[in-house]
Amino acid sequence: MCTNYRPGSRDFLRERFGADPPFEYPAEAYPAAMVPIIRAVGATEVGKHVDCARASFGLIPHWATDAKIARSTYNARAETVAEKPSFRRAWRQAQFCLVPMVAFYEPNYDSGRPVRWRIERRDGREFAVAGIWEQWAAPGAQPMLSFSMLTVNADANALMRQFHAPGDEKRSLVVVDPGQYEGWLHADGTSARAMLGGLPAQEFVGQPDPRTGRRRSGATATGSLL
Domains, the chain: 5-202 (3.90.1680.10)
pLDDT at residue 41, rounded to an integer: 84
Q: In one letter, which amino acid is 220?
A: T
Mean pLDDT computed over 26-44: 90
State the alpha helices, DSSP H only, in the chain.
10-17, 88-92, 181-185, 189-193
Q: What are phi and psi of 201, to 5 degrees?
A: -55, -35
- What is the length of the chain? 226
Residue 46 has pLDDT above 90, yes or no: no
β-strand 96-108 against 144-153: which pairing, if any?
unpaired
CA 142 to chain CA centroid, Å, is 23
pLDDT at residue 214, rounded to an integer: 54
pLDDT at residue 38, rounded to an integer: 97
pLDDT at residue 219, rounded to an integer: 40
pLDDT at residue 114, rounded to an integer: 94
- The model's pTM is 0.91
Share of the chain above pLDDT 70, in %: 91
Sign of CA dihedral 186, 190, 192, 195: negative
Q: In one letter, which amino acid is 38?
A: I
| b/e 120-138 (16+ beta carbons within 10 angstroms → b) | bbeeeebbbbbbbbbebee
pLDDT at residue 223, rounded to an integer: 32
> Among 23, 81, 85, which Cα is nearest to 60's?
85
| b/e 72-99 (16+ beta carbons within 10 angstroms → b) | ebbbbbbeebeeeebbbebbeeebbbbb
Q: In one letter, which amino acid is 69?
A: I
Give the residue, 69 or 141, on which the prediction is more confident.
69
Phi/psi region, residue 147 (left: phi>0; alpha: psi -120 to 50; beta: rest), is: beta
Q: What are phi and psi of 217, to 5 degrees?
A: -65, -20
> Among 87, 93, 94, 74, which Cα is nearest to 3's?
74
Sign of CA dihedral 67, 72, 78, 84: negative
Mean pLDDT computed over 22-41: 96
For 175-220, the pLDDT digits (tens) are 999 999 999 999 999 999 999 988 999 999 999 999 876 554 434 4
Please state, rounded to an integer, the average pLDDT across all residues of the chain: 90
Least confident of 48-52, 108-112, 156-160, 199-203: 48-52
Give the residue, 52 or 221, on which the prediction is more confident.
52
